[in-house]
Every structure is written in C-alpha cells, then in structure tokens.
Amino acid sequence: NPYAGLVSHLRASWLSGKTRPMEYRMAQLEALGRFLDEKKQEILEATDLDMGKPSFEAFFSEILLCKNELNVTLNNLCHWMKDEHVDKNLVMQLDSAFIRKDPYGVVLIIAPWNYPIHLFLVPLIGAIAAGNCVIVKPSEISKNTERLVAETLSCYLDNDCFAVVTGGVPETTRLLENKFDYIFFTGTSCSPPVGRIVMTAAAKHLTPVTLELGGKNPCYVSDTCDVTNVARRVAWGRFFNAGQTCIAPDYVLCTVEMQEKLMPALREAITEFFGPNPQESPDFGRIVGDKQFRRIQTLLGSGRVAIGGQTDEAERYIAPTVLADVLPSDPAMQEEIFGPILPIVVIANMDEAIDFINARPRPLAIYAFSCDSKVVNEVLERTSSGGFCGNDTLMHVTLTSLPFGGIGNSGLGKYHGKFTFDTFSHHRGCLHRNMGLEALNGPRYPPYTQQKLGLLTATFEVKRRGTCTLL
Amino acid sequence: VERMQQVVGRARAAFNSGRSRSLEFRIQQLKALERMVQEKEKEILAALKADLHKCGYNAYSHEILGVLGELALTMEKLPSWAAPQPVKKNLLTMRDEAYIGYEPLGVVLIIGAWNYPFALIMQPLMGAIAAGNAVVVKPSEVSENTARLVAELLPQYLDKDLYPVVTGGVPETTELLTQRFDHILYTGNTAVGKIVMAAAAKHLTPVTLELGGKSPCYIDKDCDLAVACRRITWGKYMNCGQTCIAPDYILCDPSIQSKVVENIKVTLKEFYGEDVKSSPDYERIINQRHFKRVKSLLEGQKIAHGGETDEASCFIAPTILTDVSPESKVMEEEIFGPVLPIVTVKSVEEAIEFINHREKPLALYVFSNNKQLIRRVISETSSGGMTANDVIMHSVVPDLPFGGVGHSGMGAYHGRHSFETFSHRRACLIKDLRLEAVNKLRYPPGSLEMMHL
C-alpha cells in the first residue's frame, strides 16, 4: 500500500489535535488566500496551457469565486464552529442540549480537470474550516495545474496535515484502498461509473461520501420570452470554458417556432462574444485533450449544424456550435456533451418538455426561460434536479448561500459556503445533564407501575396543538 | 426477484403519480399512522412481549410513547419544515428570488432492526412520509411477531401502493437491495452496513446507516457514584442490554471499581428484586444464537455479579465483570447483552486515549462533577452522540440528530433531521429576463479592466 505511510502520518497529526483550534484553521485558510493572490499569474498560465482557458474566465472561476468562498468562511467560521443549542422538554430544563461540530479526521478530496483549482480549493476550504487533515488529489489530465498545485501548495499549508497526491487511475485506485474519514469526489462527463467506484471503495471502510457528478442539463425556452437576452445567457453558459462545465446548459428544448427565432439571436450573441472568427478570440477556450476532442467531434453528426461546426485538431478547437432539429436518438443526446455544442431538440409545448426531462436521469441543473413566471415555476415544480435556475444559466452556483449538489445519477451531497463546512463536520448530538434532581428520573426506573406510566407520559409527550385546518 | 421488482415498481409508479407530494396527503397518512398506534396498542405490546419478553410498561415507554410524540411533532412542524427557505443574496442577485426548496427524493427503503422492532420502523417511516416519499418497509425477520404485525397493519391504515411492507430474511433483503432506491436507511450492525452501502453504490443511492459499536462509559472519581450507577444500570440492562446506545463497558479508576460494583448491585435489587428471573420488568435475549454469543463472552472472566443463564428461556442475569483485559473477547465486539465489563484506567487521559484508539462509537458517556473534565472528554473524542451524567437520554431530545460516525454509521435522523434526511434540498434561483445590463459585466469579450472590477 504505497500511500499507507502518508495516510498514517496525517492520521497521527489528526490525533495530536493540531487542526482543532480555530486559530490554526484560520491561519491555514489565510495561507490559502495568499496562495491565490501570489500564484494568480501561474494559475492563469497553467489553465491556459491545460485547456486554453481565457484569462477572464480563469480569473472569475479559479480566483474570484474561490476568494468569495474563502472570505465567507473566514468571516463566519467562529459562528459556524459554535455549539448549536436546541429546544428541550420540561424534564431537561437544567440540562444543556447542543449539536457539536466535530471534524471527521483525515479526508480525501478528488478533483477533476475542468475547473482544476476551484474544484479542489473550494472543498478544501470547508475541510480545513471543519478541522480535518486533508489529502488533495488533483486531476492528472490538467497536468500543468496539477504540477503547479503539487509544487506550490506545500509552501503555504502545514505539511503535517495537508498533502497533495498526484497520479492517474492506478494511483487513485491504490489511494482509495486506504481508510479515510470522508471522501469528496467531483467527476466529469463519464462520471457515473467513477462515482460508483469511489462509493464502492468507500463502503469497505464505511466512509461517508459526497459525489458531485454530472448529466445532461436541459434548458427549456418557452415561446414567450425576450429572445436576445435568452440567447446571450444560454450562449454564455454553454460556451464558457468551451462547454466543459458540469452545470452548462447541455441541450435546449423549445418549439419549432422558437428554434427559428433563437437561431439568429444565438448567432448574434456568439459573434458579440467571440467575434466573427472565435478561433482568434482570446475569450474562447479549447478542449482539454485529444481523447475528449475526438469524442466531442463525433457528436457533430447530430441534427444539422446551424451555427459553427468547424474544428481544428491541432489546436483542439471546436467552434461554438448550435445543432438544429436534433433527435433524441442522435449521438449528441446520448451522453453529457461537455463541449461547445448546443443541440436544440424540438418539442410541441411545455408539457412535452417536462415529460422529456422527467423520462431521463435527474440532472445536476435544470434551466427554464420565460417571461411568464408561472411557466418557470411549473417547470421547477414538475421536475427534479440538483439545482434550478430560472431565466439564466450557471448563476445559482455563484451564490454561496445556496447548496450545490446533485440528485440520483448527478450526485449525492452538497457544498458551497456553510454547506461545505457542514459536509466535512460530524454533527454530534450532545446532552450534558445535571447529576442532581435524581427524583425526576424516578418514573423511568423499574419496578414499573401504572402511576409511573402516567407521570412519564405527562413529562415526555409532545402535545399536539390545534392545527386541524389542513384536514 | 420479480416480486421485489413489482413491489418497488408499484411504489415508484405511485410516487410518480404525484399524490404523495401535497402536505395534506402527507399529514393524512401521518394521522392514519397515529390512529394505528392508538387503536392497535394492545396488539403492538403483545408482539413486543412475544419477541423480547418486554413488559407492557417498557414496551409502551420505549416504543409507543416516543413514536406518538414524534408523530405529533412531525405533524405540527411539517408545514414549517417543508416551506421554501429564502437565502441571503449578493449584489448581483439582489433583484432575484433565491431559496432552497425541500423536495421528496422518490422511493425510500427502510430496513429495521429487531431490538426496538416497532420504533425503528416507525420513526424513519414517519420522516420519509413527511418528506413526501414512497417508502418500502422491511422489518427485521428476527423479531418475527412484530414483523408480521407491521406487515398486517400498515396496509390497513396507509396507502397500499406507496408504503408496501416486504418481509423475509437475508435472501429477500439481498434481492431487495438490487433494486434502485432514492435513499436507504438501515439500522443494524457494521458488517451488514458495509453490504448495504456497497449495494447502494451501484445505483449511487445515498444512505443513512445506523450501526453500532462499543459505547464507552467513563466514571470519574469525582462524581456522585450512587446516582451515576443508578442511571448506568437503567441504560445498560434495559431491553436486556440489547440497545445500540447502551453503555457497553465502563472505564474507571481501580480505586472505585468495587464501589461501582456495589452501587450497581444495590440498584439491580431495587429495580428487579431478589430474583431477577421472576421480575416482570426484565427482558430476555432475542434468540438462541444471540444467547450463545453473549454467554460465550463470559468465558474466562471475573464475574463480580450475576452470570446465571438459562438457555431454555434465553435468560441471562444482569452481570458485571471486573478487571477486564482490553484484549479479551468481551472487549472486541459490541456486547448487546446484559454483561457490563469494567476496564480500569488510571486517568482521564488514559480513558481518552483508550477510546480514541478504537472505532468511533455510536454513543459516549462520561460521569463527573467536574464540568472542565466533561468538556475535555467531549472535545478530545468523537462519537455519534453523547450524554454526560446520564445515559441514553440524548436520543430522546427531538432536535438532536441521532446517528453514528465512522463504524457506528453515517447520516442522522429524529425530528427535523428525519425530514431533512429524506428530502432533497434543491437550490433555486429565479432571475428576471430583463435587466440585461448587469449581466454584460460577465460576458466576453473580457478585458483587464473588467478583471479589476
């Protein structure tokens, strides 16, 4: 077991209690902040080398959003760490009943390549805030970022308690043989199989997990809407990071009339964003690797190419593409696209769109666009997904007060903001009783009598207040 | 396999019909459950008596009173629990609606245990119903009378398609676990917990595992021994020791060991009289297999009190073992019987180290007049839950989450925690289609000026 030494070293640090004091956690978090500030240029360069990530995008997702999470945590950690006192019944008025937030111990964070800093750093913030020791396993596919993290993170964090492990599938498999107290896994398009592998490995040690997976995020566009704004918001969400975003709108559902209206609006939005030749725009990314490039390229044989469709294998460039009249049986509708291709599937009306969505595995996000709020609410109410955004794309995950996670095949668990801290904490129910007043305990002890039963019922029962109106 | 597929398929179709979602429907089902408990009290008590030799009082107070209380609480609080929760917005989302919506997960599986066979089905069930799910109920076959009763009663009171009961043993449960569920709550032991989680992994099904372990009980030299020992005796020997949060073993200074034994002996006489076997308030071991298992733990041990057994009636007397070696068999597995080992330690540091070198327990107990010491024990250990200066009682505070950590389990329930366990918290952001100007900040073409904004 090649990682046994590392894991037991971290476990020893954990048992020493080093990571528990708030001051320690704050200091480590502040060091992470310095990492983001001091290594900003290196992060922008590494992600550019890895997938042609435009600086603006990299700054937004890898620096700005991370700093937001860091600041929310630093500002609130003291409050989050406090014992949460709960209501007590009559008998316990002199006792103290509270929920204590205990760290789990040694946790593992496995990150993917598409937002390679953000997707390990944001969970790491919560794991440190909650008092754990952490092993971070960045993705080997974004190899420049992987090298950066492996080489520099150790200069900022306490090496007794935090470590970076690099490698591919064989290394991750060996790593998963060890016992961890929590495993946080974020995986990309082929997620279902890997998610299951991680959970199965976790089951051997009864390790709790959070799995942030993916799926095909539908985007319903109703007939009553401002086409220009819809086109911009959908294009932005789809083509950000060249489509390599777990919450990107994966496909559009709309009527044939709306498809007609949407197309020129999308064309205009794309030109507005990336100019007449997106390949020359500094604001449009590239596909991360040859294997992924070839996979996405084959999806172009779906429906008909209405916008874009150009590719350049040498650069791993795929133009911002919109496919019209795509059929449910087409290749683009069989898997999460994870690329800059937006298929439009024509449906007759909202009911058909909702049925279409509900016939498929529950996605990470659902989007609905309409000027009529009733339409948006109906789509929301009649479907199920990790999260939902009405009249925009991606934005629900930038609000740290909203939980971010999937359901069913799109994942289990949630994080962001306080939810990350809660994910990496064990919520321990604690009751601190008085040694006196033993007489009050009398009714619970044998030998039992009817009288005792009456007393017990009186003190323990929750009386139902008059709320019969619902019936 | 087909039968399981059909039962689960019907539950899923019933869930997809949408009828379990309205609050009115959920409360109506919960009310029906409440009626069931009230109308069938005699039958429930009789089943518990047949399965565990549990007397009316114990059965009522352990399995009916708590259930009725939780039902009342759930019905009262459900509208507030289920209401969408608005969240703090930032500058960019000031004009938008941002909230967390509580939604049902779908079809939930609840696997019960045999030691509190009625309560351990009812409590999770009411939470799953309250959250709007369909529920497949699988009571433990070991407590066969209660299993049979649950299978008979639920269809009489609840929607038959939404809340089916599946009975059977290991083969049936294994088959059931191949089906897809949207959440599984399992109460039982660690070994089976691993099997349940591995089966759940195949469908990426989230799980709540209520397992067990050895719950330590540290008695400080500075404490009211008479009171401490009475409370410990109550928690240890109730249900004949077959309680997942029973104090499993005692850690104390050698100088107070004999006083602890004396105090427990006095309390036992107070509770059960001179002849424990004839006390109507003392239960029996559930079956022969467990009887033999618990009895074998006595081998080679110093029996300070008790030790009498009677195989025919699965009777094991309340027993105390002293000077127990940490390496002995009785200190390896969860005892789940009326045998209380005392392991001596010289200090609270030694006790904490002893506890931390073992798997995290479901419960942890510490008795002391010294508040500092208690705070220290809490801070330097971890466990599912804990009570200081008493035992068991943290599990009856409705707002405390009840669950394990590490080998003692994952997830929690009781009260609003049940509702949250069985709900999906969906992040919702509803924006305006107008006000596009604000969005322009984030669209390409990006520029250095934009970055510094």
- Coil vs helix vs strand at B53: coil
**Contact with chain A for residue B201, Cβ under 8 A:** yes
Q: Nearest chain A Cα to B199, which residue?
A: A200
pLDDT at A287 over 80: yes
Beta-sheet pairing, A411-412 with A209-212: antiparallel
The per-residue pLDDT for B452 is: 57
Q: Structure pTM?
A: 0.96
* Distance of alpha carbon A256 from alpha carbon A345, whole angstroms: 9
One DSSP character per residue, B116-173 reads: STTHHHHHHHHHHHHTT-EEEEE--SSSHHHHHHHHHHHHHHS-TTTS-B----HHHH
Length of chain B: 453
**Eight-class DSSP state of A217:** -
Amino acid at A47: T
Residue closest to A140 by CA, chosen among A163, A107, A165:
A165
pLDDT at B453 over 80: no
Query: pLDDT band at residue A466, thresholds of 50, 70 and 90?
Result: very low
Query: pLDDT band at residue A454, thresholds of 50, 70 and 90?
Result: confident
A275 min Cα distance to partner chain B (Å): 8
Residues A193-251: tens digit of each pLDDT:
899 999 999 999 999 999 999 999 999 999 999 999 999 999 999 999 999 999 999 99
Residues of A taking part in catalysis: 212, 246
* Distance of alpha carbon B146 from alpha carbon B152, whole angstroms: 10
Amino acid at A351: D
**Eight-class DSSP state of A3:** T
Q: Nearest chain A Cα to B79, which residue?
A: A470
Regarding predicted confidence, which is higher, B439 or A264? A264
Rg of chain B in Å (alpha carbons) = 25
The per-residue pLDDT for A436 is: 87
Which of A19-33, A110-124, A184-198 is least confident? A184-198
Q: Nearest chain B Cα to A370, which residue?
A: B433
Taking only residues 14 to 73 of chain B, the set having a beta carbon closer than 8 angstroms to any beta carbon of chain A reads 23-24, 27-28, 31, 55-58, 60-61, 65-66, 68-70, 72-73
| CA distances (Å), origin A440, targets A93, A434, A435, B287 | 12, 11, 11, 35
Cα A359 to chain centroid distance, Å, stands at 24
The per-residue pLDDT for A448 is: 87
| Percent residues over pLDDT 70 in chain B | 98
Residues B421-430: tens digit of each pLDDT:
999 999 999 9
**Mean pLDDT in chain B?**
95
The per-residue pLDDT for A449 is: 82
Do residues A99 and A467 make contact, with C-beta atoms less than 8 angstroms apart? no
Of B60, B204, B401, which is closest to A408 when you measure between CB atoms?
B204
The per-residue pLDDT for B439 is: 81
Locate tokens 């009411």: which residue?
B126
Interface contact B396-A199, CB threshold 8 A: no
Do residues B259 and B353 make contact, with C-beta atoms less than 8 angstroms apart? no
* Distance of alpha carbon A137 from alpha carbon A126, whole angstroms: 16
Cα A10 to chain centroid distance, Å, stands at 26
pLDDT at B451 over 90: no
Q: Nearest chain A Cα to B70, which residue?
A: A462
Of A99, A395, A446, which is closest to B431 when you measure between CB atoms?
A395
* Distance of alpha carbon A245 from alpha carbon A115, whole angstroms: 8
**Which of A462, A464, A465, A469 to mutate: most B Cβ within 10 Å?**
A462
Locate tokens 């009288």: which residue?
A451
pLDDT at B176 over 50: yes
In degrees and rounded to multiples of 5, residue B207 shows phi and psi of -130, 150
Residues A311-331: tens digit of each pLDDT:
999 999 999 999 999 999 999
The per-residue pLDDT for A455 is: 79
The tokens for A29 are 């978090």
Of A203, A273, A385, which is closest to B198 when you measure between CB atoms?
A203
Cα B376 to chain centroid distance, Å, stands at 26
One DSSP character per residue, A80-93 reads: HHS-EE----GGGT
- Coil vs helix vs strand at A73: helix
Residues A344-394: tens digit of each pLDDT:
999 999 999 999 999 999 999 999 999 999 999 999 999 999 999 999 999
Q: Helices (H) and strands (E) in chain B — how many of each?
A: 17, 17
The tokens for A137 are 């396993």
Rounded to the nearest 10 degrees, what angle do helices A373-382 and A350-358 cross at?
A: 30
Interface contact B446-A192, CB threshold 8 A: no
Counted across chains A and B, CB pairs separated by less than 8 A come out at 307
Do residues A323 and A305 make contact, with C-beta atoms less than 8 angstroms apart? yes
Q: Omega of the bond prior to B247 within 30 degrees of 0, cis?
A: no
A313 min Cα distance to partner chain B (Å): 24
B144 min Cα distance to partner chain A (Å): 26
In degrees and rounded to multiples of 5, residue A396 shows phi and psi of -60, -25
**Contact with chain A for residue B164, Cβ under 8 A:** no
Catalytic residue among B217, B240, B244, B252: B244
The per-residue pLDDT for B448 is: 54
Regarding predicted confidence, which is higher, B94 or A397? A397
Q: Which residues, at least 6 apart from A454, have a Cβ–Cβ distance to it below 8 Å? A: none
Do residues B339 and B312 make contact, with C-beta atoms less than 8 angstroms apart? no
Cα B171 to chain centroid distance, Å, stands at 24
Q: For residue B367, what is the enclosing H or E element?
A: strand B363-367
Max distance between CA atoms of chain B, in angstroms, equals 88
Interface contact B388-A431, CB threshold 8 A: yes
Interface contact B204-A435, CB threshold 8 A: no
A34 min Cα distance to partner chain B (Å): 18
pLDDT at A465 over 50: no
Of B271, B374, B430, which is closest to A390 when you measure between CB atoms?
B430
* Distance of alpha carbon A110 from alpha carbon A124, whole angstroms: 10
- How crowded is residue B17: how many other Cβ atoms within 10 Å of its Cβ? 12
Of A103, A204, A390, which is closest to B194 when you measure between CB atoms?
A204
- How crowded is residue B167: how many other Cβ atoms within 10 Å of its Cβ? 15
The tokens for B21 are 């979602």
Do residues B71 and B126 make contact, with C-beta atoms less than 8 angstroms apart? yes
Of A199, A371, A436, which is closest to B201 when you measure between CB atoms?
A199
* Distance of alpha carbon A271 from alpha carbon B125, whole angstroms: 55
Q: Nearest chain A Cα to B279, which residue?
A: A447
In degrees and rounded to multiples of 5, residue B81 shows phi and psi of -65, -40
Residue B244 annotated in active site: yes
The per-residue pLDDT for B94 is: 87
Residues B244-292: tens digit of each pLDDT:
999 999 999 999 999 999 999 999 999 999 999 999 999 999 999 999 9
Of B87, B209, B401, which is closest to A402 when you measure between CB atoms?
B87
- How crowded is residue A451: how many other Cβ atoms within 10 Å of its Cβ? 9
pLDDT at A62 over 70: yes
Q: Taking residues B358-375, what's their average pLDDT?
A: 98
**Mean pLDDT in chain A?**
94
- How crowded is residue A139: how many other Cβ atoms within 10 Å of its Cβ? 25
Q: Which residues, at least 6 apart from A136, have a Cβ–Cβ distance to it below 8 Å? A: A109, A111, A120, A124, A149, A153, A162, A163, A164, A165
Query: pLDDT band at residue B5, thresholds of 50, 70 and 90?
Result: very high
Q: Which residues, at least 6 apart from A95, have a Cβ–Cβ distance to it below 8 Å? A: A88, A431, A432, A433, A434
Exposed/middle/buried for B77, CB within 10 Å: 0-12, 13-18, 19+? Answer: middle
The per-residue pLDDT for A189 is: 46
Query: pLDDT band at residue A460, thresholds of 50, 70 and 90?
Result: low
Taking only residues 287 to 346 of chain B, the set having a beta carbon closer than 8 angstroms to any beta carbon of chain A reads none
Exposed/middle/buried for B210, CB within 10 Å: 0-12, 13-18, 19+? Answer: buried
pLDDT at B449 over 60: no
Beta-sheet pairing, A96-103 with B363-367: unpaired
Q: Which residue pairs from B119-124 have beta carbons closer than 8 angstroms and sit at least 24 positions apart in sequence?
A: B119/B62, B119/B63, B119/B66, B119/B67, B120/B187, B121/B150, B122/B33, B122/B37, B122/B63, B122/B67, B122/B70, B123/B66, B123/B67, B123/B70, B123/B413, B123/B414, B123/B418, B124/B185, B124/B187, B124/B413, B124/B418
Q: Nearest chain A Cα to B400, which residue?
A: A429
pLDDT at B450 over 70: no
Residues of B in contact with A463 (CB under 8 A): 72
The per-residue pLDDT for B392 is: 97
The per-residue pLDDT for A462 is: 56
- Coil vs helix vs strand at A185: strand
* Distance of alpha carbon B351 from alpha carbon B344, whole angstroms: 9
Interface contact B397-A444, CB threshold 8 A: no
Q: Which residues, at least 6 apart from A184, have a Cβ–Cβ distance to it below 8 Å? A: A107, A108, A109, A110, A123, A127, A209, A210, A212, A413, A415, A423, A424
Residues of B in contact with A398 (CB under 8 A): 90, 92
The per-residue pLDDT for B2 is: 81
Q: What structural domains and CATH numbers belong to chain A?
A: 4-214+414-426 (3.40.605.10), 218-405 (3.40.309.10)
pLDDT at A469 over 70: no
Residues A148-198: tens digit of each pLDDT:
999 999 999 999 999 999 999 999 999 999 999 999 999 964 545 899 999
Residues of B in contact with A403 (CB under 8 A): 100, 425, 427
Amino acid at A79: H
Residues of B in contact with A385 (CB under 8 A): 426
For residue B109, the cross-strand partners are B136, B184
Q: Taking residues B288-302, what's their average pLDDT?
A: 97
Residues of B in contact with A397 (CB under 8 A): 427
Residues A288-298: tens digit of each pLDDT:
999 999 999 99
The per-residue pLDDT for A184 is: 98
Do residues A345 and A200 make contact, with C-beta atoms less than 8 angstroms apart? no
* Distance of alpha carbon B285 from alpha carbon A459, whole angstroms: 30
Residues A28-55: tens digit of each pLDDT:
999 999 999 999 999 999 999 999 999 9
Taking only residues 118 to 137 of chain B, the set having a beta carbon closer than 8 angstroms to any beta carbon of chain A reads none
Beta-sheet pairing, B319-322 with B302-305: antiparallel
